[in-house]
Structure 1
């Protein structure tokens, strides 16, 4: 099974207000396989994650467009309970943390530019070193097709595979507002969702598909490798808004597949991850995923 590591950008709506979230996610235990008939043990996982966005400069041009600078701070701690062979293939815990600066600026009536630069620690909790620090940056040119659809493309640079390398970057944001709102988002990963506000304080969202993941620089047989985990999930998420600054949310759904890939931290390792068609990456089967958390603004 093939998975791609996405370089992520913040959605532009976050650049104009100080806001963040803290959440706890639980994954029930499921079997790990390499092919449909194989067995590589089993494993579950929990995640504690948080993010906070700090606007530095905001100049509004109209209701939806602005020139802005912002800082984002994020952190994820994952603890895995692996059994059998899966315990040797996966680290016991992972830390993903980052600090990024983001700039958004209109170029014309239809075009915007979105740029980001940042870095952070991506490693098993017991293997943090200077080699665990990964940096990335990118520039995307965004074209506003209409009030609902924005498309963009650009390029970025990352040292995830050792030497700095350039990678293409894509941006897609589509939303349809009304009593029932729909959204397709490729700005912080991949997410397709539909939502409605049942009453003033209560909001309900259904997400049939969301893709996210974790990355770590880890040692395998004395060599630095890139460990990546990609997760495909669906869930129902109720939210209750206590005040304009505090919202409680929950999620219940399934994590349909949790794929694992380990590759050499080199340019050759990057290209081998795409060219080795005979390689089967291990994966965890479907599992229950439960989440709870808070959203806040200051």
Structure 2
């Protein structure tokens, strides 16, 4: 699968994560850190002496606008979603500048969820945002997307969704696939698989604390000017670790994560149809595995 398509799937799936959330104002603030690790040259896979780190703060908020539930449990729900993520990178001992030193992703969107027949739901969403390396902020940094996802809930703990997503990430509007998969188990030990965000196994120590083993996939995207062309570049980060979660009351959670980067790479492509269908001649730049840590607050306040 081309990484461009994977990025489209990542963007579209994020809009479905709260598709079955309660009528509440929900949000999160997460700060994470990856220390300096060695740059691995793509042409020969040699670990060089050049190093880069990754420091990031994320904020996301969802505000319900209206929610209607009939006697059969069918739902119609409008909500605003907004978020901002800022990352700062330190790049040491490079012969030339290969990677951005800052990235900003800020987005606002509207989504509508409605129940269909036989455990099907329809999620419609549209969003627009700035995805920039902050070197030169202009209209090219504005990316938009919208889509329609059909979500089938096979069981209370199992759901799958698919549908078309329209995005201008590659310069011209393109229809790309959007996918969503969510599976959970109940009991003392809980498993959760959420594609493409990741997976988790949680053990409830007591009513105040859960201990989790997690594997997460995420990243950031930015429009950049390179050799006079508009490109779309970004970091993809696959991490694994232990995550104690503390329940600070009914509606507030504190998450502490410590672990390792399983993969950290930088993907960059020209924003053109030709680039979309063209296979790369060499692998993408990547970095050696290293320590990973994050602190996060999550809340879910009844509206």
TM-score, length-scaled by structure 2 = 0.90
Counterpart in the other structure of 1:70: 79
- Structure 1, unaligned runs of 5 or more: none
Deviation at 1:93, TM superposition (A): 0.5
Q: Secondary structure, in 3 states, of the residue corresponding to 1:131? A: helix
Separation (CA, whole Å) in 1 of partners of 2:59 and 2:72:
28
With over 3 angstroms needed to count, the CA separation of the structure-2 counterparts of 1:243 and 1:289, relative to structure 1, is: same
Distance in 2 (alpha carbons) for counterparts of 1:61 and 1:283: 51
Structure 2 residue matching 1:18: 3-state secondary structure: strand
**Does residue 199 of the first structure (1) align with residue 209 of the second (2)?**
no
CA distance 1:294–1:259, change in 2 (3 Å): same
Partner of 1:284: 287
| Rounded Cα–Cα distance in structure 2 between residues aligned with 1:20 and 1:87 | 39
Q: Verify: 1:146 aligned to 2:155, yes or no.
A: yes
1:213 is matched with 219
5+ unaligned residues in a row in structure 2: which ranges?
none
Q: For residues 130 and 241 of structure 1, do their structure 2 counterparts lie closer, same or farther at Cα, with a shift above 3 Å needed?
A: same
What is the alpha-carbon root mean square deviation over aligned residues? 2.0
Runs of 4+ in 1 over 3 A off after TM superposition: 60-65
Contact kept? 1:42, 1:86, Cα under 8 Å: no
SS at match of 2:268: strand
Q: Could you list the per-position Cα deviations for residues 140-168 of structure 1 after superposition, in whole angstroms to 9, with x for gaps in the alignment? A: 11112222211121101000111101001
Equivalent runs, 1:122-161 vs 2, <5 Å: 122-161=131-170
- Match in the other structure for 1:255: 261
Of 147, 152, 163, the residue aligned with 2:172 is 163
Q: 1:172 aligns with which of 156, 163, 181?
A: 181
Asked if the contact 1:15–1:68 (Cα under 8 Å) also holds between the matched residues in 2, the reply is no
- Alignment check: 8 A CA contact 1:253 1:289 kept: yes
Aligned with 2:170: secondary structure?
A: coil
Checking the alignment, whether the CA contact within 8 Å between 1:195 and 1:206 is kept in structure 2 is yes
Aligned length: 292
Structure 1 residue 223 corresponds to structure 2 residue 232: no
Distance in 1 (alpha carbons) for counterparts of 2:96 and 2:183: 40
1:201 shift after superposition:
1.4
Q: CA deviation at 1:50?
A: 0.7
Distance (whole Å) between structure 2 residues aligned to residue 245 and residue 230 of structure 1: 31
